[in-house]
Chains A and B, each alone.
Chain A
Amino acid sequence: MVIYGVYIVSKSGGLIFNHDHNIPKVENEKTFNYPLDIKLNYENKKVVVSFGQKDGINVGHMLTAVNGSPVIGNELEDGRDVLEILNQQENFPITLKFSRAKMTTNEKIFLASMFYPLFAIASQLSPEPRCSGIEILEADTFRLYCYQTLTGIKFMIVAEPSQLGMEILTKKVYELYADYALKNPFYSLEMPIRCELFETNLQSLLETIEKCGISSI
């Protein structure tokens, strides 16, 4: 039973809140000999595994450290190009650390604004009049639940497909939003929510649900 994250999108489509709840951290460190038996590529400012997966290092994972020193973009701290280092035999054996790429805040904002037209299209495509937009989006590893309020704010929850009762949770989050974000006199509408009380209450709500199930709230 896992809830991966909570997102709130404002009426105009901007991401005003996101909370990563329980994303399992995948990290693998391994020593390699020359020649390297996995293919690495530089894309989107990250060095990622493009082919060849083994020992928990999967395609799509990004390179985070070489011999213990962190990788920034495609360079080490001292400015040497990572891919070049990996091409030179004298640098081997070498220890590489891989982990799953984390979404940056910018990417989240980007994805949230992408969901917005998708939601609108869904409501237009409907064969029946008066269709809500997307309420559940299902994939093999997660389900995204979306609840749009009458005022146009969207509350989204990403959870494991087996997690039940997430529709109720979206409404609970709405209540928390009404209480702890909107009743905070220093919060202005449509702006990103930076309210600690909101965050802590949300956190404890999610934990209760994961521990005791949705019926406990």
Chain B
Amino acid sequence: MSRTGTKLEAKKVNSELFTLTYGALVAQLLKDYENVEEVNKQLDRMGYNMGIRLIEDFLARTGSGRCYDFRDTSEKIQTGFKIYLGITPTITNWSAAGDEFSLYFEANPLTEFVELPDHCLNLKYCNILTGILRGACEMVQMEVACWFVQDQLKNDTITELRVKFIKRLEDAIPAGED
């Protein structure tokens, strides 16, 4: 998703290619680890490593400023999904304290051609997303936790990703930014 030349325009990639590549990755991990829990963990870790790099692209591209409120954060995460996956998840289910929200995905490009076989019912197929969110937020000095609550692959009507704010990483805030 690189910009060509100096134009700030995303390179268009066929989403099917992306979907299939991701599918190949998950299938390979399952083959390598033979253990669904371990695959979930690996996906999350890979996502984390993607997130800490992807955040710079997001910031450079959108020029967005620092969040002083978790609602800002939620909207920026939504924008991120729009930019990188071309989908706009709905933000709902705010906790009373305003530190937890859910993202509802009606369509998810990652799972377009996927059905889970019986032995993988515990597989969190899209777990890479949780890692990405965690890594990206960490780079802007915010610790979050996220996990899937509902999953269309497991016959839920909707895919729900829950995001919880844990704390600001005060030590890591660069000078002139607090």
Chain A residues with a Cβ under 8 A of chain B: 11, 119-120, 122-124, 130-133, 148-153, 171-172, 174-175, 177-179, 182-183, 189, 205, 208, 217
Contacts and interface: CB of A to CB of B under 8 A. Distances in A.
9 contacts: A11-B174, A119-B175, A120-B176, A150-B66, A171-B63, A177-B60, A178-B60, A189-B53, A205-B6
Contact of A123 (B2, B55, B172, B176): B176
Contacts of A120: 175-176
B170 interface: no
- Shortest beta-carbon contacts, A-B, top 9: A152-B174, A123-B176, A133-B176, A120-B175, A178-B57, A178-B60, A182-B53, A178-B56, A175-B60
B139 interface: yes
B120 interface: no
A208 B7 CA distance: 14
Contacts of B6: 172, 205, 208, 217
Given A123-B175, A133-B175, A178-B59, 16 more contacts: A11-B174, A130-B178, A148-B176, A150-B140, A150-B177, A151-B140, A152-B177, A171-B63, A172-B6, A175-B3, A177-B60, A178-B60, A182-B53, A182-B56, A183-B57, A189-B52
Interface string B2-37: 110010100000000000000000000000000000
Interface string B37-53: 00000000000000011
A131 B56 contact: no
A156 to B, nearest CB: 14
